[in-house]
Structure 1
Amino acid sequence: MNTQKIDCRGLADEDVAWTLVGTLYLRAWESRLPTPILGDHYAAEAIERIDYDFPKLKRQVRPGSNQFLVGLRARQLDDWSTTFLTEHPDAVVLQLGCGLDSRMLRLDPQGTRDWFDLDIPQVIDLRRQLYPERGRYQMIGASVTDDGWLEAIPADRPVLIIAEGLLPYLTLTEVRSLLQRLTDHFPSGELIFDALTPRIVRMLKHFQWSPRDAKEIERWNPRLTCTEHMPFCTHYRRIPVRRYRILYRLIHALPALRNMATEYRYTFRPRALPQ
């Protein structure tokens, strides 16, 4: 990384800027713990290069506790990703709504895989100032709901599709269309993402979609099978700060709180050959 300061305040959508930098800030804060859950030192390096009102942001995102929400979510997706990529070393990786996430550096720092990170053009413009395109790593500036960008992704191998913090922002129609396009394009692979409960989506103005249950997507798209799903706080024992570990343990014990957010893992097999 170079050391030139980057001004994120120029993003046209202030909500986009807040979400991007806020999530990055929480991962950077979590990385500074003696025994972090995620340990994203790339996020810490990126934060040092960004010009932003961090005192105000700190008051808004409250990193004393919320860093663990972000750390637990990202760590589980990293773990699932690592398992899949170990089993499929030739796989393509497609990360949708990548924001300023450094997952490609955490999992493939040398750019040895065909890895594609996609987000809207203004986010990709900012991202290119923070992270280099190295090896076989590429960034794509487009909305996930746009047509055309998917044709640039190789469709001759298994794929790992990651959608962290994305699908709740889409409508039901957009989610169904996107998942159909993905399973039509790729021969096989895995889809991993997080989602909120319907009650939380109704409470928060920016969110639009939530699954009723893990089987809902299977009913839309028979090629997708849910192999695993878990509440966001399942691995609360990983939290290194005792008082927050106790808090998250309590959350995990209460169904109404435990199920506020869930992480999902779906697989899709090769299409059946015609008889």
Structure 2
Amino acid sequence: MRTRVPVDLTGAAQTMLTTLYLKALDADFDRPVLGDRFAKDAAHLIDYDWHEIGITGRWAPLVTVRTAQYDIWTRQFLAVHQHATVLHIGCGLDSRVFRIDPDPRVQWYDIDYPAVVALRKKVFPPRPSYHLIAASATSPSWLHEIPADRPVLLLAEGVSMYLKQHEGVALLRRVVDRFPSGELQIDFFNWLGIRSQKAQTLVRRSGSTLHWAVNDPQDILRSVPGVRLLAAVTFFEASTFPRAPAGFRSMRTLLRTAPPVRKALQYHRYAFGPIQSPALSSPVEF
């Protein structure tokens, strides 16, 4: 039996424990949204009193619908680009590289704070063509470690809202400027999601502060030259939303008359560089 791993994290990095816990709970549901057995195994391995999180499995779809949607988009990208580079920033304890199980020809980089990377090394095993980089997502230096000779997929799930707008825009511009082609797959809170942060248990308990609000894909198209929209959906419009329990599905009808609430959680997908194949997703009008 492997020795359980203690954790000591603060601030935004602490939120990854909650997302891991919710994914682990989802894995045991009769009808899981994500079904992430790797998350369940990791949660068992970590020495932590999960009851201290103060959140129950009923809220799991807020995390798992998003993660399952980005898994689909990741697989679509890699189906077209077998020799790609994946930059998974703010990876936390997400097990996407194991769920996706990419071809060894894909160079996959998980990037997060040093304490998070150290924890990942204790919780997850190594695998071919898989790399860990201990750095802040907004630091310009780590990007120079990545060869720029392949199409790139930037994955940023649950990251943008913790950045300031100028930091987030600069990050996206650096990726677009450095690589010949690729995609940006990133989720956002709108203005309501940012303003309601004091009511969000996850944010409040971690002591984090949310900053960057994106209300519409045009905010990104205006700020990051060279990108084009492939898809933009809300939580309720995600292709994985129908997997959520009936209680969540009923909310979609109730919130049709409250656009700011309905659009609080947004999942965006952009491409840049030469058009090499037909788009795999169609944009959804906001």
Q: Same fold (TM over 0.5)?
A: yes
Identity of aligned residues (%): 37
Measured after TM superposition, the shift of residue 112 of structure 1 is 4.7
Distance 1:113 1:67 in 2: 30
8 Å CA contact 2:82–2:103 kept in 1: the answer is no
Measured after TM superposition, the shift of residue 250 of structure 1 is 3.3
Measured after TM superposition, the shift of residue 146 of structure 1 is 1.5
CA deviations 1:238-257 (Å, max 9, x no partner) are: 12x33343345534674232
The reply on whether 1:199 has 2:192 as its aligned counterpart is yes
User: Greater relative contact order: 1 or 2 (C-alpha under 8 angstroms, separation 6 or more)?
Assistant: 2
Name the stretch that deviates more: 131-140 or 144-153.
144-153
Distance 1:21 1:251 in 2: 29
Map 1:168-187; keep pairs closer than 5 Å: 168-187=161-180
The reply on whether 1:27 has 2:26 as its aligned counterpart is no
**Alignment partner, residue 3 of structure 1:** 2
**Alignment partner, residue 255 of structure 1:** 259
**Alignment partner, residue 242 of structure 1:** 246
**Alignment partner, residue 36 of structure 2:** 40
**Alignment partner, residue 212 of structure 1:** 215
8 Å CA contact 2:84–2:105 kept in 1: the answer is no
The reply on whether 1:80 has 2:85 as its aligned counterpart is no
Q: Aligned with 2:233: secondary structure?
A: strand
Distance 2:115 2:258 in 1: 40
Name the stretch that deviates more: 197-206 or 96-105.
197-206
CA deviations 1:63-102 (Å, max 9, x no partner) are: 22x1011110001111111111101111111101000000
The reply on whether 1:224 has 2:217 as its aligned counterpart is no
8 Å CA contact 2:256–2:262 kept in 1: the answer is yes
Distance 1:119 1:249 in 2: 37
Aligned residues: 263
Q: In the alignment, which of 39, 48, 52 is matched to residue 56 of structure 1?
A: 52
**Alignment partner, residue 158 of structure 2:** 165
The one-letter amino acid of 1:213's match is D
Measured after TM superposition, the shift of residue 179 of structure 1 is 1.1
Q: 1:110 to 1:267 in 2, by over 3 A?
A: closer
8 Å CA contact 2:192–2:261 kept in 1: the answer is no
* TM-score relative to the length of structure 2: 0.86
Q: 1:132 to 1:251 in 2, by over 3 A?
A: farther
5+ residue gaps, structure 2, are 199-208, 276-286
CA deviations 1:127-169 (Å, max 9, x no partner) are: 1111122100000000112232111112111111100000111
Measured after TM superposition, the shift of residue 198 of structure 1 is 1.0
Distance 1:80 1:146 in 2: 26
Name the stretch that deviates more: 200-209 or 126-135.
200-209
Measured after TM superposition, the shift of residue 199 of structure 1 is 2.0
**Alignment partner, residue 236 of structure 2:** 233
Distance 2:231 2:65 in 1: 16
8 Å CA contact 1:233–1:251 kept in 2: the answer is no
Measured after TM superposition, the shift of residue 110 of structure 1 is 6.9
Measured after TM superposition, the shift of residue 202 of structure 1 is 2.3
Q: Aligned with 1:161: secondary structure?
A: strand
The RMSD of aligned alpha carbons is 1.9
Measured after TM superposition, the shift of residue 109 of structure 1 is 6.1
Distance 2:223 2:273 in 1: 16
Q: 1:36 to 1:112 in 2, by over 3 A?
A: farther
The one-letter amino acid of 2:181's match is S
**Alignment partner, residue 94 of structure 1:** 87
